[in-house]
Amino acid sequence: MGDLDPATVSTVLTGADVFFVLIGAILVFAMHGGFAFLEVGTVRRKNQVNALVKILVDFSISTITYFFIGYMVAYGTTFFLSAAVLSGNAPGPDGVMFAGSGLDLVKFFFLATFAAAIPAIISGGIAERAKFWPQAMATAVIVGLIYPFFEGMIWGGNYGLQTFFENTFGAAFHDFAGSVVVHGIGGWLALGAVLVLGPRLGRYKPGQPTSQSIPPSNIPWLAMGSWMLCIGWFGFNVMTAGSLEGVSGLVAVNSLMAMVGGVVAAVVAGRNDPGFVHNGALAGLVAVCAGSDVMHPIGSLITGGVAGALFVITFQLAQNRWKIDDVLGVWPLHGLCGVWGGIACGIFGLEAMGGLGGVTLSAQIAGSLMGAAYALIMGYVLYGALNATIGIRLTPEEEELGADKAIHSISAYPEEDLTARA
């Protein structure tokens, strides 16, 4: 670029950053297909259409709400300006310039896909018995207010929380790609929703110590959902850098090592169960998000392995002993493994453990537990309020019929209905 003037070089570099972040946004957007098919493969056949529709509608509502409200809550930026200003071609009314080539807009797109992951996570926990429109309303509240409030404190520097952590614990709470900010918040919100909603019909029989098993309806769909999520996760983690200048191969390799660690631990702890294996990969990826930019790959492997085992053990405890009917196990997967990831960053991110440093265990424990408590309380309050006012659960007759027919008036396999009536 020796013959180019500095302004041209700057424009080219900004355009490269736009493309880089855009690819990340597209990869995370594709993860929502993974959420959808993971749920489709786990729920019964009579609820598969509902799973597909919920994820896409929730994504759409999330994007609209985050555009008008959530992004402003988190970062203080609104989009009520001309396209010339938003694309960086003209100064705003206060003289502030947006980044050129629409870089700030594509960063919004990237962060919106993160925000939309919250209701996608919750969807898996409350599957098969939740009403459609009350959940859509919950999505708007979560993505417009509840999630960006916490996001803004951790990633936006709002309300002095990170300064408090630095002064009290010696470092800010470090969550590079959202073990707690995204996954932990989603998982603990889901636990509140599941507790309010209650178990599916017939899931637990009075007087019987164990649950009535409802096996996954389609292991290939479940596996495809897991693969889609795993592939998209490299956009989720690596592209969090936000620019080509900040990209790090360490983040990519750490993500890979945590993923395979989760798989190996889950196949052992889960005794070859395919559902545990494919979710074990996701458990490892959830846990590595927080410290993927500071941990050594061996630390990431251990972090992922612990997460894979943690998911298998706590999923079984929640379902059988504690009788929490979390259909996809999103609380163990995203909630508990997210908290573990936040804490693991404070262990394996330390220079003494081969990491890059800049973190403290006390700050990571405090931030992780605070995020979990905040989300659990907000989830219980939000879904409790909706349940007390408009109701959030299908009637027993609708639940027995299945959400596909009860809500969408069609099944995933209409030809079977025609054959049965013939």
* pLDDT exceeds cutoff 50 at 1: no
Q: Poorest-confidence range of 164-168, 200-204, 378-382?
A: 200-204
Question: Which DSSP string do the residues of 343-376 spell out, in sequence order?
Answer: HHHHHHTSGGGTS-----HHHHHHHHHHHHHHHH
**For residue 317, what pLDDT is reported?**
97
Tens of pLDDT, residues 228-257: 999 999 999 999 999 999 999 999 999 999
Q: Cα separations (Å) of 54 from 42, 163, 188?
A: 15, 39, 19
Q: What is the mean pLDDT of the chain?
A: 95
% of the chain residues with pLDDT over 90: 87
Q: What is the dihedral of CA 36, 183, 326, 71, to 10 degrees?
A: -70
How confident is residue 140, by pLDDT bands cut at 50, 70 and 90?
very high
Residue 422 confidence (pLDDT): 58
**pLDDT surpassing 90 at residue 276:** yes
What domains lie within the chain, and their CATH numbers?
Answer: 8-421 (1.10.3430.10)
Q: pLDDT tier at 205 (50, 70, 90 boundaries)?
A: confident
Under 8 Å between Cβ of 303 and 261: yes
Q: Smallest Cα–Cα separation from 318: which of 335, 293, 296? A: 335
DSSP string, 159-226: GGHHHHHHHHHSSPPP-SS-IIIIIIHHHHHHHHHHHHH-PPTTSS-TT-SS------S-HHHHHHHH
Task: State the pLDDT at residue 2.
Answer: 54
- The single-letter code of the amino acid at 105 is L
| pLDDT > 70 in the chain, percent | 97
Structure tokens at 343: 């804490």
Distance CA 235, CA 258 (A): 15
Residue 320 predicted with pLDDT over 50: yes
The pLDDT assigned to 421 comes to: 65
Of 38-47, 100-109, 178-187, the one with minimum mean pLDDT is 100-109
pLDDT of 35 over the 70 cut: yes
What pLDDT, on a 0 to 100 scale, did the predictor assign at position 3? 65
| Average of per-residue pLDDT across 400-411 | 97
Whether the pLDDT of residue 70 is over 60: the answer is yes
CB-CB contact of 334 with 183 (8 Å): yes
Res 418: pLDDT? 63
**Whose structure tokens read 């596909």?**
404
Tokens encoding 196: 């309010």
250/296 Cα distance (integer angstroms): 8
Angstrom distances, CA of residue 165 to CA of 6, 172, 360 = 40, 5, 10
Q: Are 24 and 111 in contact (CB under 8 A)?
A: no
Band (pLDDT 50/70/90 cuts) for residue 361 is very high
Measured in degrees and rounded to the nearest 5, phi and psi for residue 246 equal -95, -5
